[in-house]
Amino acid sequence: MPHKQQRVSLMDLKPEEMKAISAIVSGDAAAKDKAFAEGLYIAGSRYVMARADGRSIYARQGRLGVAIAKTKQAIVVGHHGETGVAGNASSTVEGLADYLIGQGY
């Protein structure tokens, strides 16, 4: 039976998912390696890691995707749907993270 892609509500992030994301964007190599090997879970859905560099993570689930960026005090998580453009989501998340960093956050 094919896997049906689900709508993701970022409000449904689980504590263990938040912890894994925080570890990856904070430079934890073991957490990053685990996510590349087993997937990154967002609101219970598995995403395939596309890239994790420095403060940012990009992951996909079919045509869905997430872009994540760390600031000094926050982690910005953006999600794009099937008709969204991954590059737009990434640039929006990175832009918001840059703005927050510029504001001291």
Residue 59 structure tokens:
């992951």
Asked if the structure places residue 46 within a domain, the reply is: yes
Pick 84 or 81 by higher pLDDT: 81
**CB neighbourhood size of 28 (10 A):** 14
Question: Band of the pLDDT at 2, cuts 50, 70, 90?
Answer: very low
Q: What is the CATH number of the domain that holds 39?
A: 3.30.450.30
**Could you give the CA distance from residue 64 to residue 5 in angstroms, rounded to a whole number?**
8
**Phi, psi dihedrals of residue 27, rounded to the nearest 5°:** 95, 15
| pLDDT of 48 above 70 | yes
Flag whether pLDDT at 24 surpasses 50: yes
Rounded mean pLDDT of 87-95? 89
Total structural domains in the chain?
1
Average pLDDT, the chain: 89
Residue-wise DSSP of the chain: -PPPP----GGG--HHHHHHHHHHHTT-HHHHHHHHHH-EEETTEEEEEEEEETTEEEEEETTEEEEEEE-SS-EEEEEE-TTS-HHHHHHHHHHHHHHHHHTT-
User: What pLDDT is attached to residue 81?
Assistant: 76
Residue 39 placed within a domain? yes
Q: So what's the pLDDT on residue 88?
A: 80
Range of the domain at 93: 11-102
Q: Is residue 70 situated within a structural domain? A: yes
Average the pLDDT over 12-39 and give the result: 96
Residue 52 lies inside a defined structural domain of this protein = yes
List the beta bridge partners of residue 19: none
Query: Is 5 contained in some domain?
Result: no
